Structure 1
Amino acid sequence: MPEALRPADLAAALRFATDWLGVYREQVNALNVYPVPDGDTGTNMHLTLQSVRRELDTCDENDMESVARAISYGGLLGARGNSGVILSQLLKGFSETIRSVKTVDGRTLARALEKAAQSGYAAVMKPVEGTILTVAREVGEGARNSRGATPLEVLHDALTSGRAGLERTPELLPVLKQAGVVDSGGQGYLYVLEGVLGYLEGKALPEAPAVESYAAQSLEHEEFGYCTEFLMEKATVPVEKIRELVQDFGDSLLVVGAEGFVKGHIHTNEPDQLLATVARYGTMVRTKVEDMSEQHTEILSMAGAAARAEAETPQNGLVAVAAGYGLVKIFRSLGARVVSGGQTQNPSVQDIVDAVRSVTAHKVIVLPNNKNVVMAAQKAAELLGGRAVVLPTKTLGQGLGAAISFNEDEDTETLAAAMQESAARVTTLEVTRASRTVQLGEYDVREGEVIGLRDDELAHAGGSPEEAVIAMLEKVYATQDILTVFSGPNVTEEQLGTLQSHLEERFPNLEAEFHTGGPDLYDYLVTLE
């Protein structure tokens, strides 16, 4: 064991820790006591680390500052849920400490772990003891008091202290004691550190433990029902101002910033209004809204799946890549495990592999729903040895068309053919903004101008988003089409209402549905079948 870790050593250790946490993800989920604070702690923390891993894969591993930025930036971009956002802040504090050093020795590691805890506490308006914060503080204190000189020795002492802190969490948080569990976020954090330790000791990944019971057995009353998140860049006001803007919308509030981005998490009953308020002060990069009662139902269904006998395992499962909370909600209602991603947010091969492995089924059909994700999905299928079947859906509209035909009990080959046929019947119209000035065929497009895409091909430029939808529809509308419209986070309720009125006037025979929660960076996503 070296006296100090080089940047490449630290990057490799965090990659291994990501896989280590992945092994225990469902066990961490099983510890969660709904609704304190979200229903899928292990998954949220794992997704956060997967984002860190993606950034590490593209950074300069010979430069500590580059590795530190990848840790901080990747953590913030990938943070999901309370647990993920707090983990991102632990990573931010850690990275701030190591950014200016060439190697990480035992003392530097101790300072970094202590700074991580301080950063976590600073991010929370009302810190609660008995949570991941308590465990992080105990880890930092154990590292500071360690007499070890090497990273390995310091980490051993930090984990010993952290485990003792985790065992005390039920005494600090009565709801944990009532459920007979320790804090899920704290346990997840320790698994991350155990993964780093496992890498330093040259261990192999363990087998995933069987999860036989879940702590979330009853739905407690929650005043605010929607877990709402946003990631914003180019903010025109300080993080503190954005925090003030959203604090009256609900509780479980976290608004943090790093590397030029602002990340927010809040439980609210007004997700659309909250997102519209925030969007006035920057460029919205990503949003997520989840109904926590549905989250709770999903947890209980996972508990039931864990108890299934092999004979009861369904023939088919479904994984879909999607962005935008309205679309995610529909894919989930159709039976899909959703991988977060889409335009400018392509998931990695490992993200898709992890999602497929989490599905209880003999075969899993994968819907990439973006032409830039198809190859990653196909590579994931190769790694899974034939368990995954990829349908090369290139738009979210095609993916929705395919998902509607999903049947968990049908012969997989027959089902895949039927889903592919359903996907082919869907036309997808997307309205977004041009990222640069360019001449494409008959269209002279200016940066920032409204553009319309028909099945990923440029089909309109100029005017308002609503005019773009109508203009494209006039070219493809038949007499008995079914239309579904998803509005993005920057579209107001008034704009959506205006579009609905114009469509009803222009196309009186059109059967149309309107939803919020479309993909980020898009004004509208429209499916026509």
Structure 2
Amino acid sequence: MPEALTSQQIAAALRYATDWLGVYKEQVNALNVYPVPDGDTGTNMHLTMQSIRRELDTCDEDSMPSVAKAIAYGGLLGARGNSGVILSQLFKGFSEAIRDQKTVSPDTLKTAFEQASRLGYAAVMKPVEGTILTVAREVGTGARRAKVSSVEGLLECALKSGQDALEKTPDQLPALKQAGVVDSGGQGYLYILQGMLAYLQDKPLPEAPKIESYAGQQVEHEEFGYCTEFLMKDCTLPIEKVRELVAPYGDSLLVVGAEGYVKGHIHTNEPDELLSTVARHGNMVRTKVEDMSEQHTEILSMAGASTRAEEDLPQSGLVAVASGYGLVKVFRSLGARVVSGGQTQNPSVQDILDAAKSVTAREIIILPNNKNVIMAAQKAAELLGDHVKVLPTRTLGQGMSAAIGFSSFSSAEEQLESMQDSASRVTTLEVTRASRSVELNGLDIQEGGVIGLKDDELVFAGDTPEEAVLEMLKTTFTDQTVATIFTGPNVDQEQIDALMNTLQEQFPDLMVEVHAGGPDLYDYLVTLE
């Protein structure tokens, strides 16, 4: 076993740890219980690790500073949920300790685990013992006390100390004892360290354990109903000020930063107002709002899936790819299991596979809702079998219209044609910002400028998002048109009110509905029927 790890070995160990956690992801999800009600702890931690792996794949692996930056940057950008944000800070601390080292010796690893724990605790306003923080602290303590000369030996000592701490978590949190489980985040963290050790020992990936029950069946509903997250760049406030700004809106608050970005997580009843307030102080890159009561319902359905008789299953289930919490809420209300993703955030085949496997139905229909996701959806369907069908919706507007016509009582074959017909009658207008300067379709487009797309075709370039909506409507409006507008996180209420007033003046017969929670990179998404 090596006495020290190179930057390439650190990168390889973390890649393998990502796959190792993936094996146990659902088991970690099954452990999750109140008072941390993000019901997909394993999934959130795995997504965070996958983001680290993506950054490692593009960094200079021969450079320890480059690997360290990839770990910190990837963790923050990919952090999901309470557990994912804390995990990102653990790895930020880890990366800071190794950044300036030529190799990672046992002594360096001791410092890295201790620094990981310090940053994890610093990220949480009111740290709670019996959680991932406790396990991370004891991992650091076990590492510091180890009297070994190899990295393998140090990891074994750290894991033993962390495992002992994990087994005591039910004595620290009554909710864990009541449910008869250990802390899910702490377990997930140990699986990551197990994966690093398994890489050093050249162990194969194990089989995924069978999930017999979900602790979330015993979850209580908390005061705040929406798990809300944001990722912002070019922030004009220090992180401490952002934390103070967000704190009054709820609890389970985390606000952290790395490499020029600020990441926030909070449970609140006012996600719209919170995101609008934060957006005034920087450029919003990504937001996510999850209804935790709906998460709980999904957990219960997954828990009961293995015990439902075949004759009790619905005929059809629905999977939809979507981003933007308002749109996600619509798809869920129409009976879909939602895969997070879309423009610039295309989900993988595995993401779609996982979602489809979690649907309890004889047949499944997948709505990719983006032209760049269709092939991944088709590949997932191919791997799953003939009972899974893909309706190749190219926009979120098409997907919503198709989902409205979905029925769990009808076979996929019976409703695919009518759903496709509904999708074809929808026009989708998207207002976003240009990622580069170019001349295209007779338009002079400047990087960062407002652009408008009609059913994926670039048709507008101009000065304001509101102008884009108005100009595109002029070419699509009819007396029977109904418009549904989803607003993005960078649009404030004053802009929305001004747009609505202008629409009323210029299109008095237009029926309009406005909803918050459009896709993160869009100012407006408009569906016309």
Per the normalisation by structure 2, the TM-score is 0.93
Q: Offset at 1:238? A: 1.6
Q: Which residue of 2 aligns with 1:49?
A: 49
The reply on whether 1:244 has 2:244 as its aligned counterpart is yes
On the 8 A contact 1:107/1:149 being kept in 2, the answer is no
Q: Offset at 1:129? A: 0.7
| CA gap 1:365/1:53 in 2 versus in 1, 3 angstroms | farther
The reply on whether 1:191 has 2:191 as its aligned counterpart is yes
Q: Offset at 1:278? A: 1.1
Q: Which residue of 2 aligns with 1:13?
A: 13
Q: Offset at 1:409? A: 4.9
Matching residue's letter, 1:335: G
1:53-202 map, 5 Å: 53-202=53-202
| 1:213 counterpart SS class | coil
| CA gap 1:224/1:442 in 2 versus in 1, 3 angstroms | same
| CA gap 1:463/1:484 in 2 versus in 1, 3 angstroms | same
On the 8 A contact 2:363/2:411 being kept in 1, the answer is no
Q: Which residue of 2 aligns with 1:433?
A: 433
1:401-480 map, 5 Å: 401-480=401-480
Q: Offset at 1:520? A: 0.9
| 1:217 counterpart SS class | helix
CA–CA separation in structure 2 for the residues paired with 1:486 and 1:496? 10
Matching residue's letter, 2:119: S
Q: Which residue of 1 aligns with 2:275?
A: 275
Q: Offset at 1:498? A: 3.3
Q: Which residue of 1 aligns with 2:485?
A: 485
Q: Offset at 1:388? A: 5.0
CA–CA separation in structure 1 for the residues paired with 2:233 and 2:478? 40
CA–CA separation in structure 2 for the residues paired with 1:18 and 1:385? 27
Q: Which residue of 1 aligns with 2:336?
A: 336
Q: Offset at 1:213? A: 2.2
| 2:112 counterpart SS class | helix
On the 8 A contact 2:142/2:160 being kept in 1, the answer is yes
> 5+ unaligned residues in a row in structure 2: which ranges?
none
Matching residue's letter, 1:474: K
Q: Which residue of 1 aligns with 2:347?
A: 347
Q: Which residue of 2 aligns with 1:298?
A: 298
Q: Which residue of 1 aligns with 2:513?
A: 513
On the 8 A contact 2:90/2:119 being kept in 1, the answer is yes
Identify the range of structure 1 (498-507 vs 469-478) with the bigger mean alpha-carbon deviation: 498-507
CA–CA separation in structure 1 for the residues paired with 2:133 and 2:67? 24
CA–CA separation in structure 1 for the residues paired with 2:24 and 2:442? 54
CA–CA separation in structure 1 for the residues paired with 2:365 and 2:81? 27
On the 8 A contact 1:23/1:208 being kept in 2, the answer is yes
The reply on whether 1:526 has 2:526 as its aligned counterpart is yes
1:219-234 map, 5 Å: 220-234=220-234
| 1:167 counterpart SS class | helix
CA–CA separation in structure 2 for the residues paired with 1:416 and 1:55? 39
Q: Offset at 1:241? A: 1.7
CA–CA separation in structure 1 for the residues paired with 2:53 and 2:188? 17
Q: Which residue of 2 aligns with 1:497?
A: 497
Identify the range of structure 1 (11-20 vs 245-254) with the bigger mean alpha-carbon deviation: 11-20
Q: Offset at 1:163? A: 0.9
Q: Offset at 1:231? A: 0.1
Q: Which residue of 2 aligns with 1:261?
A: 261
Q: Offset at 1:263? A: 0.2
Q: Offset at 1:56? A: 2.2
| CA gap 1:74/1:386 in 2 versus in 1, 3 angstroms | farther
Per the normalisation by structure 1, the TM-score is 0.93
CA–CA separation in structure 1 for the residues paired with 2:17 and 2:324? 29
CA–CA separation in structure 1 for the residues paired with 2:386 and 2:15? 25
Q: Offset at 1:14? A: 2.1
| CA gap 1:411/1:52 in 2 versus in 1, 3 angstroms | same
CA–CA separation in structure 2 for the residues paired with 1:355 and 1:61? 33
| 1:338 counterpart SS class | strand
* Pairwise CA RMSD: 2.4
Identify the range of structure 1 (7-16 vs 325-334) with the bigger mean alpha-carbon deviation: 7-16
| CA gap 1:362/1:140 in 2 versus in 1, 3 angstroms | farther
CA–CA separation in structure 2 for the residues paired with 1:289 and 1:115? 31
CA–CA separation in structure 1 for the residues paired with 2:196 and 2:358? 23
CA–CA separation in structure 1 for the residues paired with 2:422 and 2:473? 20
CA–CA separation in structure 1 for the residues paired with 2:206 and 2:41? 20
Identify the range of structure 1 (107-116 vs 134-143) with the bigger mean alpha-carbon deviation: 107-116
| 1:451 counterpart SS class | strand
| 2:100 counterpart SS class | coil
Q: Offset at 1:313? A: 4.5
- Percent of aligned positions with the same letter in both sequences? 71
Q: Which residue of 2 aligns with 1:39?
A: 39
On the 8 A contact 1:37/1:82 being kept in 2, the answer is no
Q: Offset at 1:132? A: 0.6
Identify the range of structure 1 (228-237 vs 370-379) with the bigger mean alpha-carbon deviation: 370-379
